[in-house]
Amino acid sequence: MSSAEAQTAAPLRYDFEFRGSGREYFRIWIVNLALTIATLGVFSAWAKVRTQRYLYGSVFVDGHAFDYHAPPLRILFGRLIALGLLLGYEGCNLINPLYALPWLLVAGFAMPWLVNSSLRFGARYTSYRNLRFNFTGRYFEALIAYVVWPLAAASTLFALAPMARRARDYFWVNHHSYGGRFFKTDFKPWRIYLIYGLATLLFVAVVALILIGVGYGTAHLPKQITSNSTVNGVFFFSAIGALYFAFLMLGPAIETLVINLVLNRTTFDGRHKLTSRMSALVVAWITVTNALLTLATLGLFYPWARVRLMRYRMKKLSLLMEGTLDDYTGETLSQSAVGEEIGSLFAFDFGL
């Protein structure tokens, strides 16, 4: 094939595939849990590595799996520092809440560093075909994405929330690289505003339909039924349950639509493209039912819940490639785990 023909050839499509199972992950999870409890949390660092290696190693593209290489001792060291900081804050807060204010100020200034450290650590210890990923975000850029924009959104009664989310996703995607080549996403602000606006309108419509249904039923049922306290209780709790279910579905649905938008506008090395075809309703249904089943089984369903959601997401993700990845070279990288573990301990979510 000539060079001109190669340039005009259709890109090759490689679908992501998750080959893990709930049963396999349950065995890893239950052993991790037991050993973490038995060692008073010390084994949690090794548990995290075992979990990530299994989950990453179950994701395949073009017959090759991802891998996770983080050293458990670095994670343990980071967690010990994170625990020390948390105990220091809680101790000062118990003595006098005013003494905790300096800790909060330090946390605010440290937030960008925590974000960058967490993302850099996760990227540099993740590989595909023996090549590492990398993250190159800087302090000021993280400050804008994770501090300035959220404050701007809150100060405008969340009218700027879609823009804040766009800034975060730009920062997350556009500073990741693989084999020295960068990912890049770009989309117009109106696209993310459309997602938030339509989701809000849909939720309002569902609430209105529920209220209309309750009102109609109350008005047209015989009075001897509607005057019964048991019937009224059923109406009330049914309406509250339906509203709560709709609210639970809203978050995952919006998140899915935003992720689709971001990934479908993402390119790698200026040539390769990602595509995401997740259904917002399907992801919302999986997420809510996973939560209910996990609650009903006192947490035992968690491994199956995580695998179930991950399998669907990978099934709907593809890579459209022009050329090959064989000529990419890797980078020799090292990174501290402190930022990631502090972020994990305080439940910060820095990813997509």
> What residue segments make up the domains of the chain, in order of their start?
19-345
pLDDT tops 70 at residue 325: no
Within a 10 A sphere around the Cβ of 178, how many other Cβ atoms?
23
Contact assessment for residue 78 and residue 340, using Cβ atoms and an 8 Å cutoff: yes
Q: Check residue 304 and give its pLDDT.
A: 98
Distances (CA, A) of 254 to 123, 133, 194, 278, 348: 26, 28, 11, 12, 19
Quick count: other Cβ atoms within 10 Å of Cβ 92? 16
Q: Is 98 exposed, middle or buried (0-12, 13-18, 19+ CB in 10 A)?
A: exposed
Residue in 28, 8, 12 with CA at minimum distance from that of residue 20? 28
Mean per-residue pLDDT over the chain, rounded: 86
- Report the run of H or E that residue 17 belongs to, with start and end: strand 12-18
Q: How far apart are CA 242 and CA 5, in angstroms?
A: 57
For residue 350, name the pLDDT band (cuts at 50, 70, 90).
Answer: very low
User: How many Å apart are CA 1 and CA 323, to the nearest integer?
Assistant: 13
- The pLDDT-based confidence of 217 (bands split at 50, 70, 90) is low
Choice among 203-212, 214-223, 266-275 with the minimum mean pLDDT: 214-223
- Number of residues written out for the chain: 352
184's CB contacts (< 8 A; 6+ apart) are: 173, 174, 266, 267, 268, 270
How far, in Å, CA of 80 to CA of 153, rounded?
34
Span 292-305, mean pLDDT? 97
Asked whether residue 73 carries a pLDDT value surpassing 70, the answer given is yes
Tell me what the mean pLDDT of segment 83-109 comes to.
Answer: 85
Coil/strand/helix, residue 13: strand
Q: What is this structure's pTM? A: 0.85
Comparing 21-35, 115-129, 198-212, the range with the smallest average pLDDT is: 198-212
